[in-house]
Amino acid sequence: TQLLEQSPQFLSIQEGENLTVYCNSSSVFSSLQWYRQEPGEGPVLLVTVVTGGEVKKLKRLTFQFGDARKDSSLHITAAQPGDTGLYLCAGVRNTGKLIFGQGTTLQVKP
């Protein structure tokens, strides 16, 4: 059973386009993390959102935590080829256990 559903699974866009990745669950999490993973490397933490409704910005990336702390989104503005990679969301339980989504593979073409 996949507790965290990410969509879309694959996304191929042109440089300069905007995109949104979604992370949905029926479970409540104490916080939610977003990671980016490049080929041959491990996931790297981008951001942690903690409060329901929280919005965090990291340059062209905007992360939002749902009001009920069950879902999150990642919006990228004017995507660049350097944004290419696997984006993973991970819900954090009160116990500290991390539940990862399946990931969204993003390809940004020049």
Footprint of other proteins (CB under 8 A)? 2, 30-31, 33, 40-45, 48, 88, 92-103
In terms of CB distance, is 96 or 110 closer to other proteins? 96
The nearest distance, CB 16 to other proteins, in angstroms, is: 30
Edge-to-edge order in the sheet of strand 55-58: 5-7, 19-24, 71-76, 61-65, 55-58
44/78 with CB nearer other proteins: 44
**DSSP line for 37-65:** E-TTS--EEEEEE-STT-EEEETTEEEEE
3-state percent helix, strand, coil for the chain, nearest multiple of 5: 5, 55, 45
Give 14 or 97: the residue with its C-beta nearer to other proteins: 97
Q: How far is the CB of 97 from other proteins (least distance, A)?
A: 6
Rounded distance between C-alpha atoms, residue 35 and residue 71, angstroms: 15
Q: How far is the CB of 11 from other proteins (least distance, A)?
A: 16
Nearest approach in angstroms of CB 18 to other proteins is 26
